[in-house]
């Protein structure tokens, strides 16, 4: 498969301005990488998919020489990995500046930024981005939701899509707690810890001091023994009305 696609995804309360700004800065990064990796190449980036619900864009590169696109996509993946580690010193000043501009879209509203290709993804989430507006209430509690983002950058952080408010909540694990989120990605879970909430709405903003993460199995095998005897031997004749009455009485 030709490695000719790049992905950008944002998690949080993403507004149109945030997405537009991120796409502009993605375009600037790709143009800079093209100039450095394949001087003189002309690559057109076509938006192949745009998912408004998850603020995700997938772009496909088109050029006379397919190899030029593959080299730029590979460079994009390597820069994204360096961005996730917070260190782009091995790249030129122009690339580093474009990368820093793209990273800066992450803030109070955008909790995570994922950059990827067909070969893999890098997610940028940092504990320093925990919103700290004044007036938040803090108390022990539990949040049920879906773990949508996991990152090892600056410690283990994650984004939980709260099912009650349908809003993202930033979670931060203490060092050594990574096992709590094993097999939790993209699954429903109940997270226990110290929750910071908005005082008026009660909406959770972030959760720290996490003590437990319980992954919910939505597809547990049901015990079918309770249904034994509801239906008689099919070889025996029975009037339809008697069958309906017997099934009704069985419940």
Same domain, 17 and 95: yes
The whole-number pLDDT of residue 217 equals 77
Domain assignment of residue 166, yes or no: yes
Domain assignment of residue 246, yes or no: no
Domain boundary among 200, 215, 230: 215
Intervals of the chain under pLDDT 70: 1, 52-53, 125-134, 151-155, 218-237, 250-251
Domain boundary among 103, 124, 145: 124
Provide the CATH number for the domain around residue 177.
Answer: 2.40.50.140
Domain boundary among 124, 157, 187: 124
Same domain, 70 and 154: no
Q: SS in 3 state form for the chain?
A: CCCCEEEEEEEECCCHHHHHHHHHHHHHHHHHHHHHHCCCCCCEEEEEEEECCCCEEEEEEECCCHHHHHHHHHHHHHHHHHHHCCCCCCCCHHHHHHHHHHHCCCCCCEEEEEEEECCEEEEECCHHHCCCCCCCEEEEEEEEEEEEEEECCCCCEEEEEECCCCEEEEEECCCCCHHHHCCCCCCEEEEEEEEEECCCCCCEEEEEEEEEEEECCCCCCCCHHHHCCCCCCCCCCCCHHHHHHHHHHHC
Same domain, 141 and 93: no
Same domain, 13 and 118: yes
Same domain, 93 and 170: no
Same domain, 143 and 171: yes
Domain assignment of residue 163, yes or no: yes
Same domain, 108 and 150: no
- Domain region containing 52: 5-124
The whole-number pLDDT of residue 130 equals 47
Domain assignment of residue 249, yes or no: no
Q: How many domains are contained in the chain? A: 2
Same domain, 19 and 97: yes
Residues 6+ apart with CB under 8 A from 27: 45
Calpha distance 114→171 (Å, rounded): 17
Domain assignment of residue 109, yes or no: yes
At 235, phi and psi to the nearest 5?
Answer: -75, -20
Same domain, 110 and 14: yes
From residue 208, alpha-carbon distances to 28, 54, 186 in Å are 36, 24, 20
Same domain, 114 and 190: no
Domain assignment of residue 229, yes or no: no
Provide the CATH number for the domain around residue 65.
Answer: 3.30.70
The whole-number pLDDT of residue 127 equals 43
| Residue pLDDT, tens place only, 160-177 | 888 888 888 888 888 788
Same domain, 120 and 135: no
Same domain, 17 and 119: yes
């Amino acid at each position: 498969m030709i490695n000719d696609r790049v992905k950008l995804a944002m998690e949080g309360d993403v507004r149109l301005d945030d997405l537009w700004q991120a796409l502009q800065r993605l375009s600037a990064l790709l143009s800079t990488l093209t100039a450095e990796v394949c001087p003189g190449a002309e690559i057109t980036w076509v938006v192949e998919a745009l998912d408004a619900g998850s603020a995700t864009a997938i772009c496909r590169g088109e050029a006379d020489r397919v190899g030029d696109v593959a080299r730029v996509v590979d460079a994009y993946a390597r820069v994204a990995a360096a961005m996730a580690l917070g260190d782009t010193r091995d790249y030129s000043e122009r690339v580093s500046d474009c990368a820093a501009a793209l990273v800066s879209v992450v803030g109070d509203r955008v909790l995570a930024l994922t950059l990827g290709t067909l070969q893999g993804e890098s997610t940028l989430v940092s504990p320093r981005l925990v919103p700290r507006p004044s007036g938040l209430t803090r108390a022990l509690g539990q949040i049920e939701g879906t773990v949508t983002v996991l990152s090892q950058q600056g410690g283990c952080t994650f984004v939980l899509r709260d099912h009650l408010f349908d809003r993202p909540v930033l979670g931060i694990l203490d060092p050594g707690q990574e096992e709590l989120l094993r097999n939790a990605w993209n699954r429903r879970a109940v997270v226990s810890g110290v929750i910071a909430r908005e005082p008026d709405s009660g909406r959770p903003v972030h959760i720290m001091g996490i003590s437990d993460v319980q992954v919910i199995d939505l597809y547990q095998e049901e015990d079918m023994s309770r249904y034994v005897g509801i239906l008689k031997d099919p070889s025996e004749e029975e009037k339809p009305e008697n069958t309906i009455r017997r099934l009704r009485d069985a419940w």
